[in-house]
Structure formats: C-alpha cells, structure tokens
Amino acid sequence: MGLFRRRNTFGQRGGMGRRPGGGRLKIMLFLGLIYAGYHVLSYYSKTEYNEITGKKQRIGLNQEQEIALGLQSAPHMAKQHGGLHPDEKAQAYVDRVGKKLVDNSIAASSGYKFDFHLLADPQTVNAFALPGGQVFITQALFSKLENEDQLAGVLGHEIGHVLARHGAQRVAKDQLTKGLTNAAVLVTGDYSGGQLAAMIGSVVGMKYGRGQELESDDLGIRLMMKSNYDPEQMVGVMKILKAASGGGRKQPEFFSTHPNPENRVGKIQESIKKYRSQGL
C-alpha cells in the first residue's frame, strides 16, 4: 500500500505546487545506471574455468554452496512430486546405475556428493538435478524406460548438469536479472519496467538453458560409454519422450526444460561418433 501511495504522490503537485523537476529524474536515472552497472560487473567478474567441460563459466556459487543448496532443496523437491517412491528394490536399482556412472567417470573425483532419488509421481514425465549432486527421476518416466542402458542415459544426462555446474550458472544469471529488474524499478518508479526486464531475462535464460541441455546430453553420452553402457539407447530415450508427448497433444513436463527429442538425436549421434573416435 505504501509503495502505491508514494507512486501516486509523484503524479500530484507537491506542497509548493510544483511537479518534480528534470533534475530528480536525472538523479534517479543516474542511480539506476550505477545499480545496473554494479550487477553487470559483478556477473562478469564471477568467471571460472570448468576442467570437465573445458569452458569458462560465470558462476554464482562455490562447490560447497552448491552441495548445501542441493541438500536443503531436495526434501522440498521430493514433496512436490509426491515424495520418494516406496519401492525399495526400484530405488536400489536407480542407486546402482547412478553409482556405476559416477564411479567409472570423472564424476568420482569431482568433489560432488551424488544421491539418486526415485520419485513417486506417476504422471509427470521428468528427470532433473539440483546443484551439488541431487538427481531425481519420476516414476512416470522410470516406468517407460525399457532397459538399464536407457536409465543410465537419463541419469548420465542429469549428472552432466551437475558436473557442468549449470545450477551455479543459473544462480549467477538470476542474480543479474534481479539486479537489472531492481534498477528498472528504481528508474521508472513502478513495476512495469521491472516486469519487462524480468521477462527479457527469462527468455534469455530459456535459450541458454537449452544449450545447457545439449551440453548435458554430450556429457551423459561420455559417462555412459565410460561405464560400458550402450550410448545408442539414448536415442531410444528420445523416442520414448516423443511418444509421451501424445502425438502433439499435451507434452510432458520434461519438454518444458529440455529441447524437443527430434532436435537432440542428431547431436547425440555426433557425440557418440566423437567419443568412439577417442577410444571410449
């Protein structure tokens, strides 16, 4: 209420019968630019080299913070999907495959503490990873997989997100977006400009996120082959996901964060060829 009253005051004559002058607007604009510039400089200064991907990244968390954030968020994430699946045998199967992928790859020496969770959700076809090593797959997706290699493909993809530090990248991106949003609010005096900045930030994040998904596909193939799983089965996973879309009807939750399977198969096949040429 107080914010709206103050905004309305800006549109009325003050006690001296004058509107705020251009000087005040210039000051607000100057402060907004400084505030925005600070967050931009902060974002671009958080650059680290990832030895696993061979790329420089802008990171918002250190490894210890990633692990802590993942552990703190895992119970809430499980609750959103009906809790953990009660089938201990199925959970042990997921644990075994996940552990094999970690133990036979660079993930073992990455410093991350990987845990694998089978969620009870029977409707949401999805898998995802939190920063630090918390990996989830829903019963809805798990039940559609045809063999262990396909499960390895799904889990390997999610392990790839952790190793590539995509969660920490997203935190840094979100911090930049929030900073620019606040700067827009400071300049405009209302939330319309801030909402526009946030919308632009979300669109940029979506495009960037899809690139991360393809990078995780590549890492997942690498992990599969290190553990002697058949990487061609990842193509089978794409077929399962396409079928889960219902032939163009409502698409599974997986598609909201992952590129369409048809757009991923070619990249997956390129990764298989690349790693085979390296002797994997």
- Lay out the sheet containing 115-119: strands in order across: 115-119, 134-138, 127-130
Whether the per-residue pLDDT at 88 is higher than 80: the answer is yes
Greatest alpha-carbon pair distance for the chain in Å reads: 81
Q: Return the closest-CA partner of residue 140 out of 116, 115, 119.
A: 119
Evaluate whether 197 touches 237 at the Cβ level (below 8 Å): no
Instruction: State which of 135-144, 191-200, 202-211 shows the largest mean pLDDT.
Output: 135-144
The two structure tokens encoding residue 138:
């829903």
pLDDT band at 99, cuts 50/70/90? very high
Cβ atoms 134, 117 nearer than 8 A:
yes
Query: How many residues in the chain?
Result: 280
Highest mean pLDDT, choosing among 22-31, 116-125, 163-172: 116-125
The tokens describing 201, both together, are: 């930030």
Return all residues near 209 (Cβ < 8 A) that are at least 6 apart: 166, 170, 257
**Spatial separation of the C-alpha atoms in residues 181 and 194, rounded to whole Å:** 5
Helix (H) or strand (E) holding 101: helix 88-103
> Distance of alpha carbon 204 from its chain centroid, rounded?
13
Q: Is the pTM of this model over 0.75?
A: no
pLDDT at 69: 81
Average pLDDT in the 124-132 region?
A: 89
Is the distance from CB of 237 to CB of 150 less than 8 angstroms? yes
The pLDDT value recorded for residue 242 is 83
Percent of the residues in the chain that have a pLDDT greater than 90, as a whole number: 42
Whole-angstrom distance, CA of residue 195 vs CA of residue 184? 9
What CA–CA distance (Å, rounded) separates 47 from 44? 7
Look at 109 and 202; give whichever has higher pLDDT.
Answer: 109
Q: Is 155:98 a contact under the CB 8 Å cutoff?
A: yes
Q: Is the pLDDT of residue 156 over 80?
A: yes
Residue 194: pLDDT over 80: no
Q: What is the pLDDT of residue 174?
A: 63
Contact 101, 156 (CB under 8 A): yes
**Tens digits of residue pLDDT in 46-58:** 678 888 888 887 7
Per-residue pLDDT reduced to its tens digit, 204-244: 333 336 788 899 999 999 999 999 999 999 999 999 988 88
Mean pLDDT of all residues belonging to the chain: 76
How confident is the model at residue 1, as a pLDDT? 40
Q: How many CB atoms lie within 10 A of CB 247?
A: 6
Cα 209 to its chain centre, rounded Å, is 6
